[in-house]
Amino acid sequence: MDNVQLVALVTGANKGIGFEIARQLGKLGITVLIGARDQERGKEAERLLVKEGIDAQFIQVDVTDQPAVDDAAAAIREQFGKLDILVNNAGILVDEKPPSNYDIRSMRAVYETNVFGVFRTTKAMVPLLLASEQGRIVNLSSSLGSLTLNSDPNFELASFLMIGYNSSKAAVNALTVFYANDLRETAIKVNAADPGYCATALNGFTGLRTPEEGARTAVWLATLSSDGPTGGFFNDAGIVPW
């Protein structure tokens, strides 16, 4: 991306992969907005990043709350007049079980954050991204959302029958494709990132990768040059099949 002062919003950035994405973007000299629901946790994340010399600011945003998202967009417009990078990282996992035993209320809760939250936040931020000369949208997805991989009985994570989470990430992949198509005639690039199986609070810190490793693909996609891809699904190794 061009050498101008860039502004990035990372949702769910007070911990885990989101915090590490914000840290890595900040180390590149980008102003990072720490999107979080909880003010105390968001402020603490801001303090930690500022201590590292990063230009970080907490911004309160709950992706399940339309007025909160609208307020965040208004605050960004008032202070910066634009947004260069949106990383839709906020996500949850609720009481996951195989499809035959899963409660629809849990699925609704997962979709409210993981799918509708991505749509709600992206829609609110697109006008600000259009005000940038080089807007980038990165949606945090997962190989668990790949229909191709999950159709293969030899897929190493095929036993993870988490219907709510997995199908929500498949929906995030769909949103990625459709937003990329919608914005293809603009400077905005829209891609999905698979961080891999990282040790975070989401999975009880059972993952095999670190948040630092998990953040790399998202940071790469957030800082793509003008000739970079759009409408793709990537991990550290390259393209992930839909």
25: closest CA among 41, 49, 42? 49
Is 169 marked active-site? yes
Supply the DSSP symbol for 144: G
Q: Are 16 and 4 in contact (CB under 8 A)?
A: no
Tokens of 65: 């709350």
3-state SS assignment for residue 29: coil
Q: Which position has the token pair 């790469």? A: 220
Instruction: Take residue 130 and report the two structure tokens written for it.
Output: 């259009």
Question: What one-character-per-residue DSSP string does 94-117 give?
Answer: -S---GGG--HHHHHHHHHHHTHH
Return phi, psi of residue 219, to 5°. Answer: -65, -40
Q: Any catalytic annotation for residue 27? A: no
Q: Do 208 and 197 form a contact (C-beta atoms < 8 A)?
A: yes
Q: Which amino acid is at 39?
A: Q
Catalytic residue among 102, 111, 165, 179: 165
Q: Which of 169, 179, 189, 197 is catalytic?
A: 169
The answer to whether 128 and 9 are in contact (CB under 8 A) is: no
Q: Which residues are catalytic?
A: 165, 169
